[in-house]
């Protein structure tokens, strides 16, 4: 079944084959979408272009989402290439590495501002430019994490930025509904990616959740991709402003027990 036949999709946040955005791109390609990629820094081009070629993506453009000029330039190119778009995927986050270790209390003013700008405000900035191109309505999905809701060791300022991103999702959903544009978030469980490697103790976190998750395993990029497919297809035509957990059930646990004691 081709759930995205004829749909035009812009995906922000592919860094390499481990990226969650790549899991989404592969799934959307399998379902007939026409896809464009945007990546954050020049050094990523040599990794992103071969991935694009694998699934026939022709539109591959750099865009630093902390720059309004860069975003304007990107959307001008997207309009020239696609005409209109139907789906936007925001899979972008950043906080300086030193903010993702040690104490939250030591968060710097600059680190806080940068994490909020790149990881949360950028959704507003992208949706403002995407909305005029979504002439037949559309679907927008961003990526969040449980550290927005509860304290997770070392996630620190990124947890605050994700809380802002989730609230941003709701505020945007409320305003964009008039244009039949839906805005949702996926709260993914931990997955080994380039960004995740910047969080102190991430490997231990993976093992911890693998042993305690109700499904007794972690989730994959492809599973996140399939939930994004649901949110961006007509299957979710009545869903907006939602945060869907794709975390093998971790968020339902009040007091996770070690598996051997169950």
Residues designated as active site: 145, 155
**Given the complex with ligand NAD, which of 124 and 135 has the nearer CB atom?**
124
For residues 228 and 141, give the distance between their C-alpha atoms in angstroms, rounded to a whole number. Answer: 7
37, 50 contact by CB (below 8 A): no
The dihedral sign for the CA sequence 137, 32, 230, 144: negative
**Residue 124 lies near ligand NAD (rule: CB under 6 A):** no
**Residue 93 lies near ligand NAD (rule: CB under 6 A):** yes
**Residue 66 lies near ligand NAD (rule: CB under 6 A):** yes
Q: Judged by CB under 6 A, which of 168, 195, 213, 227 binds ligand NAD?
A: 195
DSSP letters for 190-216: P---TTGGGSTTHHHHHHHHHHHSTTS
For residues 107 and 117, give the distance between their C-alpha atoms in angstroms, rounded to a whole number. Answer: 15
24, 232 contact by CB (below 8 A): no
Q: Judged by CB under 6 A, which of 8, 11, 19, 95 binds ligand NAD?
A: 19
**Residue 118 lies near ligand NAD (rule: CB under 6 A):** yes
**Residue 125 lies near ligand NAD (rule: CB under 6 A):** no
**Given the complex with ligand NAD, which of 40 and 138 has the nearer CB atom?**
40
Pick the stretch among 58-66, 104-112, 169-177, 225-233 that binds ligand NAD (CB under 6 A).
58-66
Chain mean position to CA 9: 14
Q: Judged by CB under 6 A, which of 11, 25, 78, 92 binds ligand NAD?
A: 92
């Amino acid at each position: 079944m081709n759930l995205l036949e004829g749909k035009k999709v812009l995906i922000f946040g592919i860094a390499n084959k481990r990226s969650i955005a790549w899991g989404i791109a592969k799934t959307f390609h399998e379902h007939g979408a026409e896809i464009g990629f945007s990546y954050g820094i020049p050094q990523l081009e040599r990794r992103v272009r071969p991935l694009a070629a694998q699934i026939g993506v022709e539109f591959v453009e750099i865009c630093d989402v902390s720059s309004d000029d860069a975003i304007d330039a990107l959307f001008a190119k997207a309009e020239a290439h696609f005409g209109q778009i139907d789906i936007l995927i925001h899979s972008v986050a950043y906080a300086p590495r030193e903010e993702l270790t040690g104490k939250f209390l030591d968060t710097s003013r600059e680190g806080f501002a940068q994490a909020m700008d790149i990881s949360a405000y950028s959704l507003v900035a992208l949706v403002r430019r995407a909305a005029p191109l979504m002439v037949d309505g559309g679907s927008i999905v961003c990526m969040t994490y449980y550290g927005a809701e509860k304290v997770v060791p070392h996630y620190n300022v990124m947890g605050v930025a994700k809380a802002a991103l989730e609230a941003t999702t709701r505020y945007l959903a409320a305003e964009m509904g008039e244009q039949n544009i839906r805005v949702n978030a996926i709260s993914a469980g931990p997955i080994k990616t380039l960004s995740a490697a910047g969080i102190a103790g991430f490997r231990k976190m993976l093992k911890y959740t693998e042993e305690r998750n109700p499904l007794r395993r972690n989730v994959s990029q492809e599973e996140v991709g399939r939930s994004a497919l649901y949110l961006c297809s007509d299957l979710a035509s009545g869903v907006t402003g939602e945060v869907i957990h794709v975390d093998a059930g971790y968020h339902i646990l009040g007091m996770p027990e070690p598996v051997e004691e169950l």
